[in-house]
Amino acid sequence: EPEVTQTPSHQVTQMGQEVILRCVPISNHLYFYWYRQILGQKVEFLVSFYNNEISEKSEIFDDQFSVERPDGSNFTLKIRSTKLEDSAMYFCASSEGVRGRTTNEKLFFGSGTQLSVL
């Protein structure tokens, strides 16, 4: 089965530093997502991205966050100035996005990047 790849698997950073989390979605997929899971809490939606723009975002996804598809294969999440509460496992996902629809599609998740903010 095709896979979503995330790098790095673990990242440690100092509070206030910028971090970029990287993802390589499945090659023919058109919809991309970031989710996060704070330790002991539920998996939370951050943002979805389609056709080179944000399709939907949650209230968590404030001005400190941004997403980008810098080339034909990568999808990145940038946190501009990290806070302690940004420590979490961040999951990237992708789906086919046939005709721009996602509601009945399977999301393929990566194995996550564990971000620790000190």
Partner 1 sequence: AQSVTQPDIHITVSEGASLELRCNYSYGATPYLFWYVQSPGQGLQLLLKYFSGDTLVQGIKGFEAEFKRSQSSFNLRKPSVHWSDAAEYFCAVRGGTASKLTFGTGTRLQVTL
List residues binding partner 1 (CB under 8 A). 4, 31, 33, 35, 41-45, 48, 50, 55-56, 58, 91, 93, 101-104, 106-112
For the CB of residue 55, give the shortest distance to partner 1 in the complex, in Å: 5
Shorter beta-carbon distance to partner 1: residue 14 or 59: 59
Shorter beta-carbon distance to partner 1: residue 45 or 65: 45
For the CB of residue 37, give the shortest distance to partner 1 in the complex, in Å: 9
Three-state SS for the chain is CCCCEEECCEEEECCCCCEEEEEECCCCCCEEEEEEECCCCCEEEEEEEECCEEEEECCCCCCCEEEECCCCCCEEEEECCCCHHHCEEEEEEEECCHHHCCCCCCCEECCCEEEEEC
For the CB of residue 78, give the shortest distance to partner 1 in the complex, in Å: 20
Shorter beta-carbon distance to partner 1: residue 77 or 110: 110
How far is 56 from 37, CA to CA, in rounded Å? 18
For the CB of residue 17, give the shortest distance to partner 1 in the complex, in Å: 25
